Amino acid sequence: MRITSIKCLFLIAATGALGTLTAAPAAAQGTVRRHMVYFRDKAGTPYSVAQPQAFLSARSVARRTRQGIAVLPRDLPVNPAYVTQVRGVVGKPQVHYTSRWFNAAVVSCDSATLARITSLAAVRGASTLNRSYRAPAAPTAPVQVAPLAARSTVASRAQYGPAYRQNEQIGALEMHDAGYRGEGMQVAVFDAGFPGVDKIPALQALFQDKRLLGTRNFVDGGTSVYQRSSHGTSCLSTMGANQAGFYIGSAPKASFYLCLTEDTNSEHPTEEANWLAAAEYADSAGVDVISSSLGYTTFDAPSKSYTYADMNGRTALSTRAATVAARVGMLVVNAAGNEGDDPWHYISAPADADSIVSVGAVDSLGFHAPFSSYGPTADGRVKPTLSAMGRASAVLGANGSAFRGSGTSYACPILAGMIAGFWQANPTLTAQQVIAALRNTASQATAPDAKLGYGIPSFAKAYNALHPGAPLVPKEEPVEQVERLGVFPNPTGDGQLTLALPADLRGQPLRVRVLDARGAVVAQQELPAAAGSRAPLKLGRLAKGVYVCEVSAGTALQTVKFVQQ
């Protein structure tokens, strides 16, 4: 398992749609492992494509109908009689869940029992998903993180808190101003755990408004997800948090399903099978958008790892699952990966899947984050698809405090929230038309590359391209809203800052000095005159600590403190 935050910073269950996930398998002779057991056909199934309501929710059927997508035999549940045959094999095999799309079941058993299962007439084969069985880890206590050390002094940023810039960069602020905050949209989040979600004040609106629609734990079984890694909590916060004056995410009014698919104790293909099961669960529930900050490249020995040649859109289990998820009308958003400065270098699975949005990471100024994985796919397709802020992103920890973390893990949900709002604003579009609209108006639309793909999308640009007769009118930031010098992101991780300038610092060349805690000047530079309220400042790498940024223009001089992490 690899959660794609750099260096590990961290219901509707239609009958027959997915088999019930159970707890750890009963002891059996020999080593118990998980296997994907594939069936030969769906002959004799009691289900029919003519009656999809028997295994898909009304919302799922409506999503297909709206996009002109037919219910196909691949959508039919596994024949229950075949599952009964597997369960009846000597050796007490445990069926965890079934897969409609792959016509398979995930089963725990020893090798002797597996041999008996594969000898069944209904079974065409099996593959091993893990090489050792590990009991579920005890739930970990929420990780306490330091609160944000300093906040911008710019009044216009007050409502969003430290999440302001990551929302602004992709046009989510304009989206919210236009009245689109994700209302009525459903997002499924696949991750490694969500501790604190049920307690964090900034997420309590999800429960008060009944917008937390369902939870599933595909690792341990059952529905408890407020445990294990807080990585999922942080990713969810970038979309769903909604506490004015502290932190507002990119889709603060959307509804969510939380799916725990990742086991951070090991890395085996069983987690890809969990991803598949979660995607089918999301499909059956009627979810619109999947946000997955997960990626697969190498596995624990002796499971066979992938190679870059496998990143071709048709090999990895999770990639094939993501492709089908796109085919049934969901819009899949997946992190590109954090291997840009590692030997692997390229995107991971399922980011190589066709017809999904694979998200790369940039900093607050729009520059490629060095860790963000590169494209293209092994078969030459442009990846990543789009990019969003994943360097020094503002996220919430399990204890509800804000901090900055880096990874395509965070770029992914930040963008997924905007995509949900964009689809809300354009409900007649198909998922693929939404992707095309954002891609065709992104910052590198005419010259996509292996770093940022088609670039950073803009809600307003994409919306206006679709509605030339009634475009959004951009809102200029009033001068009086910037009364004092501000700086963001704050804290910073790489010395790349944006200055928020009050009126008396505009229209003249700027002189910048940076002083450390002892008052020594550690950096200085001159900037050209700025007509607007912002000016980029690139200081280079500074030692960790508190600094004072001194900016002067003519006789005007103002200072602001910032923290280098």
Catalytic residues: 191, 231, 409
Cα–Cα distance for residue pair 204/198, rounded to 1 Å: 7
**Rounded to the nearest 10 degrees, what angle do helices 270-285 and 58-66 cross at?**
90
Phi-psi region of 223 (alpha: psi -120 to 50; beta: other; left: phi over 0): alpha
Distance CA 206, CA 241 (A): 8
- In Å, what is the CA distance from 538 to each residue of 6, 246, 362, 446? 22, 27, 15, 27
| Whole-angstrom distance, CA of residue 59 vs CA of residue 285 | 7
Residue 337 CA to residue 409 CA, distance in Å, equals: 8
Distance CA(486)–CA(504), nearest Å, equals: 13
Of 41, 169, 212, which Cα lies nearest the Cα of 455?
A: 169
Helices (H), 328-428: 408-425
Question: Tokens 């869940």, residue?
Answer: 97
Q: What are phi and psi of 405, to 5 degrees?
A: -135, 165
Q: Indicate the Cα dihedral angle 323, 329, 330, 334, nearest 10°.
A: 30
Neighbours of 207 (CB within 10 A): 11
Q: Quick check: 536 and 517 in contact, CB under 8 A?
A: no
Q: Pairing relation of β-strands 556-564 and 486-488? A: unpaired
H runs (alpha helix) in 426-551: 431-440, 459-466
As a whole number of angstroms, the distance between CA 238 and CA 191 comes to 14
Locus of tokens 């199934």: 45
Phi-psi region of 91 (alpha: psi -120 to 50; beta: other; left: phi over 0): left
Query: What does the block give as tokens for 110?
Result: 């020893």
Placement of tokens 């506490």 in the chain: 243
Distance CA 296, CA 272 (A): 8
Cβ burial, residue 171 (10 Å; 0-12/13-18/19+) = buried
- Confirm if 256 and 213 have CB atoms less than 8 A apart: yes
- Cα–Cα separations (whole angstroms), residue 387 to 9, 76, 187, 360, 452: 19, 36, 19, 4, 6
Bridge-based pairing state of the strands 331-335 and 357-362: parallel
CA angle 424, 406, 388 (to 5 degrees): 35
